[in-house]
Amino acid sequence: MFKAIFTNSSGILVSRILGFLRDLMTASALGANIYSDIFFIAFKLPNLFRRVFAEGAFTQSFMPAFARSSHKSVFSVNIFVNFLSIILIITLLVNFLPSLATKAVAVGFDETTIELAAPFVAINFWYLPLIFIVTFLSTLLQYKHHFAISAFSTALLNISLILALYLSEHKSQNEIVYYLSFGVVIGGILQLIAHAIAIYKLGLCKLIFGGFKYLRVKSKIIKKESKKFRSQFFPAVWGNSTAQISGFLDTFFASFLVSGSISYLYYANRIFQLPLAIFAIAVSIALFPKIARFLKNSDEEKALGYMKKAFWFLAFLLTASTILGYILAHEITWLLFERGAFTKEDTKTTTFVLQMYMVGLLPFGLQKLLLLWLYAKEMQMRAAKISTFSLLAYMLFSISLVTPMGASGLALASTISGFVSFILTIKAFGAKNFFDILLNKYAVYLVASSILFTILLIIFKDFLAQFVS
């Protein structure tokens, strides 16, 4: 388990380091203004669909269904063809009606800004079908316990965007956004090529080609399996949507605030996502195939044993990351972004937004782990109900906090929704299971180490104050 976690964490860390370099260059080139907002809007729309449909819901529904299927080749290709067809239709619609798609994301933009952003939205959306194919291939690789390509290939997108920023140096901000948009598509193509090579080397081409070969002949045989998958998938879509729809609504509300608010949320969320990705997401990806197989074989005790190890591994890492991110939020933001067009005032605002996000890191991360249990047991409908209550909490607190607190209020609303979701997920996982994990000596170690780490960081912050204004 820990080998797979290390592989995922290493790959995600490499990608995130490159991502921060990309964000550093973006902040320097565009700052926090209308052009940075436009690019983040254009990139956000395909990413919203990617995270909801292509990655979260698809993987978590497809993996258990694929493990149980008696006709894996035909079943997998049937699902692939159906979903890719739908995604291509959506992509074409967005390209035919880019202004409408842009307005759906950023209602607060005026007509001039929407027309300016629309072409970039159309270009960026081609990333969605590419990344869906990547996700499908990645799920097959994960089933075979091969994680390296999927973990490290995400760096290719960041490399593509870094090169786009380098090549667009000294050009106008409008041209820079064009370069970035085409860089997104090229990054998706590179990820697809990397996964195709891995599939070929692992001998999985036979499974895919066999599925296409016998799809028409055997489509009726897998009809029941496909129907069950779809019945699980759509609740899973909703169950995976809370964070993504919250991000969508962040953009919606922020588009009514001062220029740059969307960018403040983006930059702060990028920092917040680093520990979430290299720890919580890496653990979840590595653990999910094992949990799905154990529960498929009715070996619940062994599955809970793995969950316990992963829980405390995450609890220590995420608690340390929360304390570090909250106390040193200003210093981190200053170090990463304050240069070029990114001003001292931008740093101050982004710092407060980041602190509001960091408070929710622990519940968000641990909930991702507990959700594995629900998806492996095909309890997608229960996860969907949890997501609904979480989203309602987010909307309620966003409306309440956006006026007095601005962009930081939206980040705090997201954090509160994370706590709501975590508590409801514990109930679904089973309070007894949860407290069996929680009540042991590690809890005392966690509290003691957290207090000591907080004191050390406060002292360190005072030391840094003479260097960071």
pLDDT digits (tens, 9 = 90+) for 377-397: 878 788 888 888 988 999 999
- At 209, the pLDDT band (50, 70, 90 cuts) reads confident
More confident residue, 56 or 423: 423
Domains of the chain, by residue range, sit at 1-239, 240-469
Residue with tokens 């005392």: 444
Measure CA 67 to chain center: 24
Count of Cβ atoms closer than 10 Å to residue 228 Cβ: 15
**Mean pLDDT across 120-137:** 89
- At 92, the pLDDT band (50, 70, 90 cuts) reads very high
The answer to whether the Cα torsion of 55, 6, 21, 360 is positive or negative is positive
CA-to-CA distance for 288 and 377, rounded, in angstroms?
Answer: 11
Helix (H, G, I), strand (E, B) or coil at 410: helix
pLDDT value of residue 52: 61
- Tell me: pLDDT of 181 over 60: yes
Is there a contact between 397 and 413 (Cβ–Cβ < 8 Å)? yes
Q: Amino acid identity of 311?
A: F
pLDDT value of residue 55: 53
- Of 231-240, 285-294, 301-310, the range with the lowest mean pLDDT is 231-240
CA-to-CA distance for 405 and 399, rounded, in angstroms?
Answer: 11
- Tell me: pLDDT of 370 over 60: yes
| Opening angle at CA 44, ends 91 and 359, nearest 5 | 145
Count of Cβ atoms closer than 10 Å to residue 167 Cβ: 11
- Tell me: pLDDT of 47 over 90: no
pLDDT value of residue 328: 93
pLDDT value of residue 4: 63
Count of Cβ atoms closer than 10 Å to residue 376 Cβ: 23
Tokens of 131: 């990344």
**Residue 308 burial by Cβ neighbours in a 10 Å radius (0-12, 13-18, 19+):** middle
Residue with tokens 């995604």: 87
pLDDT value of residue 214: 77
CA-to-CA distance for 6 and 458, rounded, in angstroms?
Answer: 30
More confident residue, 222 or 400: 400
- Of 162-166, 185-189, 250-254, 268-272, the range with the lowest mean pLDDT is 250-254
Is there a contact between 99 and 115 (Cβ–Cβ < 8 Å)? yes
CA-to-CA distance for 53 and 146, rounded, in angstroms?
Answer: 22
pLDDT value of residue 231: 73
- At 241, the pLDDT band (50, 70, 90 cuts) reads low
**Mean pLDDT across 220-244:** 72
Q: Residue 298: which region, alpha, beta or left (left: phi > 0; alpha: psi -120 to 50)?
A: left
- At 23, the pLDDT band (50, 70, 90 cuts) reads confident
pLDDT value of residue 38: 78
Count of Cβ atoms closer than 10 Å to residue 302 Cβ: 14
- Tell me: pLDDT of 222 over 90: no
**Mean pLDDT across 336-361:** 88
Q: Residue 430: which region, alpha, beta or left (left: phi > 0; alpha: psi -120 to 50)?
A: left
- Tell me: pLDDT of 239 over 70: no
